[in-house]
Amino acid sequence: MPEITYTFTAESFQDLKDQMEAEYATLFPPVDDVHSRLEDHIIAENEKAEAKEEKKEEKPPRRRRATTEALKEEKPARKRGRPKKEPAPPPPAPEEGKEPVEVTAADGVKAATEGAEKLGPGMILQILEEDFKVKNVSELDPQQLREFVETIKFEMPN
């Protein structure tokens, strides 16, 4: 049987290829398009989800039941409309080998008496009212008590 030989040139081969792809495209829709829509859908869904999450993050986190006690403590301050106190500065580092001495009410009274002796009772009452907004040493907290004693020491001569 005689052997048939097909000779293709480069151009004919390219034409044939184009023709076959066109037929294939009519029979089957292009797969790439399907993929891209699906991908678009997934991306869109992801973006929505991310957007939701971002919105959630913007809202204050929902308080847990465990924080109830903390809430109770904050309540009176909110009712009275007090501005939130700034966190107290860390206490000064103790000197080496020395512990900070606690200032007691008795120290406050002693300082007030010594101050009244040297500066006059009016001056002590003025310090209490203007610097600490109180009328009695007993209304000062420990930090204020320390400041009160230091203020009087500073004001006193020698």
Partner 1 sequence: MVREESFRVQSSWADKPFCYRAPYPEGALTPYEFQLAGAEYCLARKHALIGDEPGLGKTCQTILISNAIEAKSTLVICPASLRLNWEREIWKWSTIENVQTYPVLKSKDGVHLKSNYLIISYDLLRNPSLLSALLSKTWDHLILDEAHLLKDPKGNKRTKTICAEDGLRNVVGRMTLATGTILPNQPIECYNAIRLLDWDAIDRMSIESFRRHYYAEGGGWIRGPHKVKDKKTKEWVTVNEVRWSEHVRNVPQNLGELQERLRTNIMVRRLTKEVLKELPSSRWHMFPLITNTAIKKALKHPGWGDAEKMYQMDPNGFSGAIPIEGAVSTARRLLGEAKALSIVAYVKDLMNSGVQKLVIGAWHHSVLDILRQNLVQFGLTYMDGRTSPINKQLAVDNFQQDNEISIILGQMLPLGEGWNLHSAQDVVLAEPDWVPGKNEQLLRRILRIGQKGRSLIGHVPLIPDTLEEKIVRRAIEKDITIYKTLDERER
Give the whole-angstrom CA distance, residue 140 versus residue 132. Answer: 8
Give residues with Cβ within 8 angstroms of 47, minimum separation 6.
Answer: none
Under the binding rule (CB under 8 A), the answer on residue 19 touching partner 1 is: no
Report, in Å, the least distance between residue 137 CB and partner 1: 4
Residue 144 near residue 133, CB atoms below 8 Å: no
Under the binding rule (CB under 8 A), the answer on residue 149 touching partner 1 is: no
Which of 1-9, 40-48, 78-86, 98-106 is the region at the interface with partner 1 (rule: CB under 8 A)? 98-106
Under the binding rule (CB under 8 A), the answer on residue 116 touching partner 1 is: yes
Give residues with Cβ within 8 angstroms of 109, minimum separation 6.
Answer: 137
**Could you say which of 125, 146, 147, 156 contacts partner 1 (CB under 8 A)?**
125
50/139 with CB nearer partner 1: 139
Residues 129-148 that bind partner 1 (CB under 8 A): 135-138
DSSP 43-98: HHHHHHHHHHHHHHHHSPPPPPGGGHHHHHHHHHHHHTTPPPPPPPPPPPPPPTT-
**Could you say which of 121, 142, 150, 155 contacts partner 1 (CB under 8 A)?**
121
57/102 with CB nearer partner 1: 102
Which of 30-38, 52-60, 87-95, 113-121 is the region at the interface with partner 1 (rule: CB under 8 A)? 113-121
Size of the site for partner 1 (CB under 8 A): 20
Q: What SS3 class is residue 103?
A: coil
